[in-house]
Chains A and B, each alone.
Chain A
Amino acid sequence: MAKITVNGTVVDAPEGATLLDAARLAGAEVPTLCYLKEAGALTSCMICVVRDAATGRLLPSCATAATDGMSVETDCAEVRAARREVLLMLLNEHAGDCGAPCSRICPAGLNIPRMLRETQQERRADAARRARNDLIFPAVLGRVCTAPCERVCHRGQYDGPVGIRATHCALAEEFLRMAAPERPAPSGKSVAVVGAGLAGLSAACVCARLGHACRVYEKADRACPGLRALPAEKLPPEIIDAEVAAVAALGVEILTGNTVGADLTLDALLREHDAVIVACALEHEKHPKFFDAVEEQLHVRAVGSGKRAARRADAFLCGLPAPPEAVFHSVLGKLAPADTEPFAVERKRPPAGDAADAARREAERCLHCDCLKQVSCKLRLYAEEHGLAPQIRRSLPRPVVEPAERFGNVVFEPGKCVKCGVCVELTRIAGVPAGMTFTGRGMDSRVRAALGALLEAGLGDAAAACVRACPTAALAFADAEETP
């Protein structure tokens, strides 16, 4: 038994315990990437460092024996700075996207790869529901959006981008009058939205989905007056009407011909509602209950702005801190000509089935750039926790893209490997004949199946255990669908 002081709290660490064990006994969170109990301490990631109070040294807690009388800090400024440094280093050698570039750039945050996969799998209603859920106006945007998603599509550098806008347009029109989703239990809070443009209605829609009573005030006599100014052959009014009706079907009350500032004052709205979302060009003083959404010129941005304002208002109503403006993303960036082939050729799937179906054919062209472990990836999780900028500034050129390898349901993406050695240890312990191994050294070291064996032989019986233990998406199940 050793008495260890962890952040000022004394714990009794059992015989043979490490500092990591002691920290966990004390309830301190210590991040680990390469540590796995059954594999033993590998001390490769060095993210689990804690500060030894006596010497000021940073010690890898997973491999340092807890000796009686030690005092460590697990979350002081120096330790956090050290971990940030390690994370930045790992992200510098990371070649992979967290979210697919199309989704990441979409201001409304449509989960495009997932929508395309559903389309491809003949789950068109699910795909349409996703488009409606994320875009709120998928049919409208299907006709007026400038489609920034297609500009960043990695396939664009290979043989032209996937027709994303056309896909959600076709899906939305096919399911234009689908039933509204079930309403959640009322929260008892009410929200006023000023302005029934795309931003205002999007904000109202999100609030309603979260159970808040929602009333929209619009000075024009119909919702979406801006959109109605567009030529009808470009955007038929019945499409606008159908998607506005879908918002109203959630219980959103849209009061047209009501000019806030003239017919009724903001003060009156404040008295009547728990939060006010201002989605028009209305001057107002700062107030904790006011949330701004901007009716941007770019329609999809207006939707995004409304959705974000609604989430801020919701957090306020629930007494939670404001949600982050942007989440962390590792970004592969534009593919160099040399990267395009290894990236695209391996990922593209041969078209299957009914070639007459245009939407499905297009969906099949998706390269599925989104990470299979968007939620469970520890690298991303720690990057968020340690306050890294949503997109790091690289200090090294991004590593070249190496083709993925797959067998059965398992995918190995070398560019996402942090060289922690967990799979090497697990295959060794399991006695897999070929086994996974390190090759080369330094920055050129890689993990792969030994002596030219295939991935299947390298992982052997330990495959599932390795996928589960892999701290990133270097090893993942191909059918994983993690919802960010």
Chain B
Amino acid sequence: MNPEFSMEEVDQIIAECGAGGDALLPILHALQRRFRYLPEEALRRVAETAGISAAAVHSTATFYPHFRLRPAGRHIISVCDGTACHLKGSLAVNDAIAEELGLGPDEDTDSGGLFTLQKVRCLGCCTLAPAVQIGRVTYGHVRPGGVAAMLDDYLAHAEQHEQGLPGGGAEAPEDGPEIRVGLGSCCVAGGSEEVRRALEETRARYRINVRIKQVGCIGVCHLTPLMEVVLPGGASHTYAKVRPEDVPSLVLAHFPPPRPVEKARARVFSWLERLYTDREDRPLERHAGAPGASVVEDYVGVQRRIATEHSGESDPTDLAEYIRHGGFSALRRCLAPLGGPAPGAGDGPPLDAPAIIDEIMRAGLRGRGGAGFPTARKWLEVRNAPGGEKYVICNGDEGDPGAFMDRMILESYTHRVLEGMLIASVAAGARRGIFYIRAEYPLAVARVRAAIDRCAAAGLLGDRVLGSSHAFHAEVREGAGAFVCGEETALIASLEGVRPVPRIRPPFPAHRGFHGMPTLVNNVETLAMVPWIIRNGAGAFAALGTEGSKGTKVFSLAGKIRRGGLIEVPMGMTVRRIVEEVGGGVADGRAFKAVQVGGPSGGCIPAAMGDLPVDYEALAGAGSMMGSGGFVVMDDADCMVEMTRYFLSFTQLESCGKCVPCRVGTRQLLEILERLCAGRGTPEDLAELERLAHAVKKQSLCGLGRTAPNPVLTGLAHFREEFEAHARGKCPAKKCKALLSYTITEDCIGCTKCAQRCPSGAIAHAPHGVHVVEMEKCVRCNACFEVCPVNAVRVD
């Protein structure tokens, strides 16, 4: 069922990727792409011929969850179990797919070898939760009942899907009408690629003269796919949740067909189109009806865009457009001869490296990857560190479940990140740059690779960047699904092809990094801020935000929120304003309970602390952290103990296992939380939980272990009564199944519906009598509660 193994191909792959530690991860990726898993004989060959030790090959191949050591089916189904997807029932989706494929308890591949099912930690499509990726296609809002249709849809379009990712921009006149379609991952998962195809078909069929333009993420992910019609003169109309079948009528409403023949054809066609495409049970949830531009305006209104400037209007693959919007003017200033004239109209005077660092210092920019280290100080450290070759690494290994801003920025503002990296390289004196991007972000990987080629062709990369003496080459390296690789020393080890476990700092990478050389590691968002600061001045950036946290911050707003998406707000905006004004409040009329900031390493902030300004210091003071910017909202139906258990299950699984406190301690914490959620907890468990949480926080080697207990500690601080209730065997949010008991009250009318629906025979048939639930048999599926017509089923 797997592509036939051939040693010649292994040798060819090794020849293409090169030898030595640096080549190990690319070799493993290539082997897996070829054979869909890593055959042991291939690994032995790598150890024998690629100059990499057997120990390094083995420990690396078995470390990353992305790599398979067992044969896989033709198509890989990845069910996202990130925070947002988990909240919205990803486990039920996973089970439904397993059932559909007929998988046994220890099987992951169906008997025909067609599909392999796996869970992944986060696909970064949180607004489409629950999300499933098959091959390179992402499906959003998947329901357990819709998995069969999803698999059919995939198989029906498999070839087309796998042909390639949307890459190059359309060449069309620059002025004149255009229709913009979002082509970020969320939009594509929401069906924007089909919308684009429908647009092109419509345009061809009715010979309409309009430019179809793919644009980056607009950030309004809850309304994908979005389509914006811009008419000559600038008037624009935005349509949300567009279906391909809606496209002809929407287009024709703005652009009437030029000739009567086409007009007539249009009427008949659109009627037929509806007739054929209105089928039920689509795997993708798509709504007709367009809420219109005002929704987008509300959402965007209180935001302030720096890293995500020109959101929704620019084509991420169009370099010329980026340059027209002022792109690379900041870099031009940084490379122009000092003391000379401004390099371009409207540019400021040339800046040398110390001046660049000074500008960033005065802007108060701090690392957006989590810890908030002053960016300029890092640059200065690298600049001053002795060492011949220096490196800049863009850390795009965004692994937090519930965070997707780095993916969106890389996909939609590719050139901006590249410009930020180039400016950093000038400041730090680096000549080589590496983008380390998660393999789960294929679109981001493809876009950055394409952008590098484009910029190299345009003289923006190479031995003489913009004709100056500055040489800079950049490349993309794919991660392999290990959260710990977001830690900079582990990331560097990963690039070097050794087991990616963190090491103690100091020495910091700024002094001893990639291959022992001074290395600057900056987060995607940090680099995306840089060109704006140089263009607009440190003062403009520092004018935004709070005393210690300047500028804006990009968040992935997700969870139980009405309007999720990629948002960028000034630092210091309160939690409540983000939830209510930007996010439109909690969905489904429930009450706002808490927000989890900073992913599983962050902490929860209760609704009562809604006036907390979101900046580095305030969050840390509340026991949470900025982290990479996940912002997951929870409502009163969410159980904090269960959520804490979920977060610990993540960190426990992602612990690299090097140091004892994190390796064992996180498992001990998880064990206690599982006991509490399963109704086996005791009051002593809470004391042990707290003691262990402090121990893991204080004694672990790296940031992963040192922050993993944050959900436990903030949970105990703000929601202690919920933990205590669990220790007594009660779940106040009625979320922990094992703690629920079902009773039927005297209101029962004896309709027997509950008995009929009960899957485990826990309710005996008692026509016209009051039914009784036998709790020993009950599997707590909640079916009786849902089916009872008179609300006679009580859940406690």
Q: Are A395 and B63 in contact (CB under 8 A)?
A: no
From A43, A418, A424, A427, name the one whose CB has the most chain B CB atoms within 10 angstroms: A43
Is A462 positioned at the interface, with any CB of B under 8 Å from its CB?
no
Given A424-B55, A435-B54, A437-B55, check contact A85 B62 (CB 8 Å): no
- A-B contacts counted at CB < 8 A amount to 129
Would you give 13 A-B contacts (Cβ < 8 Å), ordered by A? A41-B504, A43-B503, A45-B659, A64-B504, A85-B661, A85-B692, A93-B664, A395-B668, A440-B62, A442-B653, A443-B664, A445-B656, A445-B663
Task: A2 to B43: give the CA distance in the assembly, Å.
Answer: 47
Chain B nearest CB, measured from A16 CB (Å): 13
Cβ-closest 10 pairs across A and B:
A437-B55, A89-B664, A445-B657, A450-B54, A435-B55, A450-B58, A442-B657, A439-B62, A85-B695, A450-B55
State which residues 661-690 of B face A: CB under 8 Å: 661, 663-665, 667-668, 671-672, 688
* Residues in A whose Cβ lies below 8 Å from that of B44: 451
* Residues in B whose Cβ lies below 8 Å from that of A427: 55
Is A170 positioned at the interface, with any CB of B under 8 Å from its CB?
no
* Residues in A whose Cβ lies below 8 Å from that of B56: 437
Is B701 positioned at the interface, with any CB of A under 8 Å from its CB?
yes
Is B499 positioned at the interface, with any CB of A under 8 Å from its CB?
yes
From B659, B660, B668, B671, name the one whose CB has the most chain A CB atoms within 10 angstroms: B660
State which residues 495-530 of B face A: CB under 8 Å: 499, 503-504, 506
Task: A46 to B697: give the CA distance in the assembly, Å.
Answer: 13
* Residues in B whose Cβ lies below 8 Å from that of A89: 660-661, 663-665, 668
Q: Which of B55, B665, B699 is close to A428, meaning CB atoms less than 8 Å apart? A: B55
Q: Are B58 and A437 in contact (CB under 8 A)?
A: yes
Is B59 positioned at the interface, with any CB of A under 8 Å from its CB?
yes
Is B737 positioned at the interface, with any CB of A under 8 Å from its CB?
no
Mask, B572-608, CB within 8 Å of A = 1, is 0000000000000000000000000000000000000
CB closest residue in chain A, given B685: A395
Q: Are B661 and A63 in contact (CB under 8 A)?
A: no
* Residues in B whose Cβ lies below 8 Å from that of A445: 656-657, 663
* Residues in B whose Cβ lies below 8 Å from that of A396: 664, 667-668, 671
Task: A421 to B59: give the CA distance in the assembly, Å.
Answer: 12
Q: Are B57 and A82 in contact (CB under 8 A)?
A: no
CB closest residue in chain B, given A440: B62
Chain B nearest CB, measured from A395 CB (Å): 5
* Residues in B whose Cβ lies below 8 Å from that of A58: 698-699
Given A419-B657, A428-B55, A434-B54, check contact A442 B663 (CB 8 Å): yes
Q: Are A437 and B665 in contact (CB under 8 A)?
A: no
Q: Are A92 and B664 in contact (CB under 8 A)?
A: yes
Q: Which of B59, B652, B698 is close to A438, meaning CB atoms less than 8 Å apart? A: B59
* Residues in A whose Cβ lies below 8 Å from that of B667: 396, 442-443
10 new A-B contacts, CB < 8 A, other than A82-B698, A82-B699, A437-B58, are: A45-B660, A49-B699, A58-B698, A60-B504, A85-B661, A89-B664, A90-B660, A438-B499, A442-B663, A443-B652
Is A433 positioned at the interface, with any CB of B under 8 Å from its CB?
yes
* Residues in B whose Cβ lies below 8 Å from that of A82: 695, 698-699
Is A37 positioned at the interface, with any CB of B under 8 Å from its CB?
no
Q: Are A395 and B695 in contact (CB under 8 A)?
A: no
Q: Are B63 and A440 in contact (CB under 8 A)?
A: yes
Is A11 positioned at the interface, with any CB of B under 8 Å from its CB?
no
Task: A47 to B40: give the CA distance in the assembly, Å.
Answer: 36
Q: Are A85 and B699 in contact (CB under 8 A)?
A: yes
Q: Which residues of A contact B (CB under 8 A)?
A: 41, 43-47, 49, 57-58, 60, 63-65, 82, 85-86, 89-90, 92-93, 395-396, 418-419, 421, 424, 427-428, 433-445, 450-453
Given A43-B701, A46-B701, A85-B699, check contact A435 B53 (CB 8 Å): yes
Is B47 positioned at the interface, with any CB of A under 8 Å from its CB?
yes
* Residues in A whose Cβ lies below 8 Å from that of B54: 433-435, 437, 450-451, 453
* Residues in A whose Cβ lies below 8 Å from that of B668: 89, 92, 395-396
* Residues in A whose Cβ lies below 8 Å from that of B655: 441-443
Is B207 positioned at the interface, with any CB of A under 8 Å from its CB?
no
Q: Are B664 and A90 in contact (CB under 8 A)?
A: yes
Task: A63 to B504: give the CA distance in the assembly, Å.
Answer: 7
Q: Which of B47, B59, B672 is close to A439, meaning CB atoms less than 8 Å apart? A: B59
Task: A439 to B58: give the CA distance in the assembly, Å.
Answer: 7
Q: Are B659 and A46 in contact (CB under 8 A)?
A: yes
* Residues in A whose Cβ lies below 8 Å from that of B657: 419, 438, 440-445
* Residues in B whose Cβ lies below 8 Å from that of A90: 660, 664
* Residues in A whose Cβ lies below 8 Å from that of B664: 89-90, 92-93, 396, 443
Q: Are B659 and A43 in contact (CB under 8 A)?
A: yes
CB closest residue in chain A, given B658: A44
Task: A57 to B668: give the CA distance in the assembly, Å.
Answer: 23
Task: A44 to B657: give the CA distance in the assembly, Å.
Answer: 9
Is B193 positioned at the interface, with any CB of A under 8 Å from its CB?
no
* Residues in A whose Cβ lies below 8 Å from that of B506: 65
Is B108 positioned at the interface, with any CB of A under 8 Å from its CB?
no
Classify chain B: how many residues form its interface, as a range: 35 or more
Q: Are B654 and A442 in contact (CB under 8 A)?
A: yes
CB closest residue in chain B, given A428: B55
* Residues in B whose Cβ lies below 8 Å from that of A43: 503-504, 658-659, 701
* Residues in B whose Cβ lies below 8 Å from that of A439: 58-59, 62
Chain B nearest CB, measured from A155 CB (Å): 30
Q: Are B659 and A44 in contact (CB under 8 A)?
A: yes
Task: A161 to B714: give the CA distance in the assembly, Å.
Answer: 51
From A428, A443, A453, name the one whose CB has the most chain B CB atoms within 10 angstroms: A443
CB closest residue in chain A, given B691: A85
CB closest residue in chain A, given B57: A451
Q: Are B57 and A46 in contact (CB under 8 A)?
A: no
Q: Are A395 and B656 in contact (CB under 8 A)?
A: no
Chain B nearest CB, measured from A138 CB (Å): 42
Q: Are A442 and B656 in contact (CB under 8 A)?
A: yes
CB closest residue in chain A, given B669: A395
Given A43-B503, A89-B668, check contact A442 B652 (CB 8 Å): yes
* Residues in A whose Cβ lies below 8 Å from that of B652: 442-443
* Residues in B whose Cβ lies below 8 Å from that of A443: 652, 655, 657, 663-664, 667
Q: Which of A44, A435, A441 is close to B660, meaning CB atoms less than 8 Å apart? A: A44
Task: A93 to B666: give the CA distance in the assembly, Å.
Answer: 13
* Residues in B whose Cβ lies below 8 Å from that of A424: 55
* Residues in A whose Cβ lies below 8 Å from that of B695: 82, 85
* Residues in A whose Cβ lies below 8 Å from that of B504: 41, 43, 60, 63-64
* Residues in A whose Cβ lies below 8 Å from that of B53: 428, 435, 450
Q: Are B63 and A441 in contact (CB under 8 A)?
A: yes
Chain B nearest CB, measured from A85 CB (Å): 4
CB closest residue in chain A, given B507: A65
CB closest residue in chain A, given B653: A442
State which residues 57-74 of B face A: CB under 8 Å: 57-59, 62-63
* Residues in A whose Cβ lies below 8 Å from that of B43: 451
Task: A106 to B503: give the CA distance in the assembly, Å.
Answer: 46
Chain A nearest CB, measured from B697 CB (Å): 11
Given A44-B658, A85-B661, A438-B499, check contact A451 B59 (CB 8 Å): no
* Residues in B whose Cβ lies below 8 Å from that of A41: 504
Task: A60 to B59: give the CA distance in the assembly, Å.
Answer: 24
Task: A49 to B695: give the CA distance in the assembly, Å.
Answer: 12
Q: Are B698 and A86 in contact (CB under 8 A)?
A: no
From B503, B664, B688, B701, name the one whose CB has the most chain A CB atoms within 10 angstroms: B664
Given A395-B672, A396-B671, check contact A46 B699 (CB 8 Å): yes
Q: Are A86 and B699 in contact (CB under 8 A)?
A: yes
CB closest residue in chain B, given A395: B668
Chain A nearest CB, measured from B67 CB (Å): 11
* Residues in B whose Cβ lies below 8 Å from that of A395: 668, 671-672, 688
* Residues in B whose Cβ lies below 8 Å from that of A440: 62-63, 657
* Residues in A whose Cβ lies below 8 Å from that of B665: 85, 89
Mask, B634-657, CB within 8 Å of A = 1, is 000000000000000000111111
* Residues in B whose Cβ lies below 8 Å from that of A93: 663-664
Task: A43 to B652: give the CA distance in the assembly, Å.
Answer: 19
Task: A41 to B504: give the CA distance in the assembly, Å.
Answer: 9
